[in-house]
Structure 1
């Protein structure tokens, strides 16, 4: 049995009223599909600091890590060897206007109504987004 620790990902649900900002993947994983701004936690940073850093790097939006609210957690089995722990944070207060800061990795940023999200969201982040929106639980196991 592999004892590797899971990769820890932060996902940021930037929410303005009934709309959520999603990004369209431009890299090989999930090319053309949608997900929330996200990334891996770096060594030595807190989860909320990592989430704020990823949001700034990808969208140019600044959020105070103390204003992020953990709204869902997903334990995702990516493969036999790799598991991921996804921490989904909601941000409702920020500064700046979202813009695509990583055009080599992102095709587009777009606001979607929470009741009309695209069908082609990557499964792992979709599990967290739908878990958050349904609000029935704060934890999802995906891919097990």
Structure 2
């Protein structure tokens, strides 16, 4: 089953009920949803499209980051939606598994509501025929006790377990730090 605009909107609505302070930052997502409909899940929707990411937290408070081959940046595991994805959370789990080799049986989803939704620019990629565009990244919190990572080398060049307080973005860092504190209590 393909993820629909209705699923994206429902997930966004539940998220904003929990985090109303993010409404202004995500106004662009609502606009693209209104205009693109189900096309919001297509990587060819260059007004912006939805992606799914995973915040993978260990009991020691460290979070897995990966070095993205094309962007040359350290990021959370995640990526584009696929037609076989049923939900945004399962898409995040699929991306986590693909990029890191950590099996779905080795992680636990903490909530069906994203921990964070980030709207960020993606630079043009002429080799793929992609203009600059936006990603609306629905980030879900998962926990694990696994240490070992097996990289998907076509997209990922490195992996590192980082302290939650080193994550970029004040909102993401605060929410992951709070989740780490709650998990260790």
TM range (shorter): 0.5 to 0.7
Cα distance in 2, alignment partners of residues 87 and 100 from structure 1 = 23
Offset, 1:40: 0.7
- Aligned Cα RMSD in Å? 2.8
The offset of 1:98, in angstroms, is 3.7
Partner of 2:116: 72
Compute the displacement of 1:35 (Å): 0.4
Q: Matched residues in 2 for 1:66 and 1:99: separation?
A: 16
Alpha-carbon shift at residue 73 of structure 1 (Å): 0.7
Question: 1:86, 1:102 → 2: CA distance?
Answer: 20
Q: Per the alignment, in what secondary structure is the counterpart of residue 57 of structure 1?
A: helix
Structure 2, unaligned stretches of length 5 or more?
A: 1-31, 41-47, 124-130, 176-185
User: Alignment partner of 1:92: what SS?
Assistant: strand
Aligned to 1:11: 53
Contact 2:53 2:137 in 1 (8 A): yes
Comparing both chains, which one has the higher relative contact order based on Cα–Cα distances under 8 Å and sequence gaps of 6 or more?
Answer: 1
What is the TM-score normalised by the length of structure 2? 0.54
Runs of 4+ in 1 over 4 A off after TM superposition: none
- Once the two structures are superposed, residues 68-126 of structure 1 have per-residue CA deviations (whole angstroms, 9 ceiling, x without a partner) of 432001223447863321101111147x5442331132221111112245xxxxxxxx4
| Structure 1 equivalent of residue 157 of structure 2 | 107
> Which structure carries more helix by proportion?
2
The alignment of Structure 1 onto Structure 2 pairs a total of residues equal to 120
| Higher radius of gyration, 1 or 2 | 2
